[in-house]
Structures are given as structure tokens and as C-alpha cells.
Amino acid sequence: VTAILGISAFYHDSAATIVLDGKIVAAAQEERFTRIKHDSSFPNNAVEFVLKFSNLKLSDVDHIVFYEKPFLKFERL
């Protein structure tokens, strides 16, 4: 089983998801936990939730991916 943790953060609607063998098994937006609309903070609560929902520990995750190339905006300057 290949486990991937996907993270979207530092823009609006931060979120986390778990993909197991190419199938999304859990996803959550941080605002559902913090009650801050369009929360852009790092999705700590969402990550904790998707791991727990998937019965995984962080050490079980094979890959962690971020939703975009982090320095793309700087490269455009």
C-alpha cells in the first residue's frame, strides 16, 4: 500500500488528504476545525484528522506532497 499525504496551505482554504494506492480515502479542510472561514494556516487539525480516519501514523506515509511548486511565485519575478 502506498500512502500519500496531500497538503494545501498558506493560501485560502487549507486542507489535507490521504490517498491510498491512488484512491482518496480521507480529506478535510482546516476551517472545519478552527471555525475560521477560508483559514490559510498550516492544516494541523486536518492532517491529524485524515491520518486518524485512515488508521495511519505519520511514519506510515510514503510521500508528502504540496499542492503547488512552493517557490513558483518567486521564480516569476
In the set 2, 11, 12, 41, the catalytic residue is 12
For the chain, give the secondary structure using H, E and C. Answer: CCEEEEEECCCCCCEEEEEECCEEEEEEECHHHHCCCCCCCCCHHHHHHHHHHCCCCHHHCCEEEECCCCCHHHHCC
12 is catalytic: yes
Question: Known catalytic residues?
Answer: 12
